[in-house]
A = this chain, B = another copy of it.
């Protein structure tokens, strides 16, 4: 009797046209992929791939079989999803790839709420580079992606998740600490801490600064750091000021280690998007998360900021 795991190996190998890559996607050794495919070939006396030394190609037989193998896999997926969700109880696994650093701050909160409603869904979040998220979605290795920049792709469906405000933070004992508001031009005079500029997010920010009358080239940059967290830390230490996502700064703000200062006319937000593969079956769990996010993202953002503020009160 044919075996679904083997079929999955075959289909993945056919998609990758490369056993080693297929092995990676399947979290298997290359040897296992070879063996699985040979196993099908042996039991049915078929040649699925034509081997040309260092490359493999689908044989005619392989090509004709592929759609049927996909059918089996699809109906199996349907069944598995149904099995995981009997009597309305949503269950299953969700693999989420998160590309944006702000994800680190709200995702745990989001998932905590989600888990409260759907306790049987197991979620796994991995932080990864944007491109890996997109690859993972197209690979179908990931169910949901979280990214910070818009993307358009035939196979990807994108949904705005939240808008993260960009704010100016200053050290707790900075002269501006108790100011209501400063003028854009004032920013140029203060020591500024920035991230290394190759960061995609930072390019977007710089564009926005320009649009609000702050030329990033004229910033008094006293320090450049690799990641946003380090930048935040540097501000806490009093080295300078910076623009940062409100969500990221929430904890430091709540602890009073940095202060938020409004910049006249400055109103920038960074979007966060949720992405999924469209042509792929929507499992119950996926659908529920998608729907959940659509319904609750605003209140979740508020709750997150509020909760972080609570940290100070609790002390």
A3 to B61, CA, bound (A): 24
Given contacts A72-B75, A75-B71, contact A2 B61 (CB under 8 A): no
Question: Is there contact, CB below 8 Å, between A79 and B69?
Answer: yes
Q: Which of A51-85 contact B (CB under 8 A)?
A: 60-61, 64-65, 68-69, 71-72, 75-76, 78-80, 82-84
- Chain B residues lying within 8 Å of A87, measured Cβ to Cβ, are 60-61
Q: Does A8 lie at the interface of the complex (its beta carbon under 8 Å from any beta carbon of B)?
A: yes
Contact flags (1/0) for A75-116 with B, using CB distance below 8 Å? 110111011101100010000000000000000000000000
Q: In angstroms, how far is the closest chain B Cβ from the Cβ of A28?
A: 12
B contact residues around A46 at 8 Å (CB)? 83, 86
Residues of B within 8 A of A60 (CB): 86-87
Contact B65 A83 (CB under 8 A): yes
Interface size on A, residues (CB 8 A): 31
Asked, given contacts A5-B1, A79-B2, whether A86 binds B65 with beta carbons under 8 Å apart, the answer is yes
List, in ascending order, chain B residues with CB within 8 A of A287's CB.
none
A250-271 residues at the B interface, CB under 8 angstroms: none
CA distance A71 to B76 in the complex (A): 8
Contacts of A84 in B (CB 8 A): 44
Listed residue (A64, A84, A86, A120) with the most chain B CB atoms within 10 angstroms of its CB: A86
A4 interface contact, C-beta 8 A: yes
Contact with B along A1-36 (1 / 0, CB 8 A): 111110110000000000000000000000000000
Q: Of all chain B residues, which has the CB nearest A8? A: B1
> Is A154 interfacial (CB 8 A cutoff)?
no
8 Å CB contact of A78 from B3, B7, B71, B120:
B71
Cβ–Cβ contact B86 & A79, under 8 A: no
A45 within 8 A of B: yes
Min C-beta distance of A92 to chain B, whole Å? 10
Given A2-B83, A44-B83: 7 more A-B contacts, CB < 8 Å: A2-B79, A2-B80, A3-B4, A44-B91, A45-B91, A64-B86, A65-B79
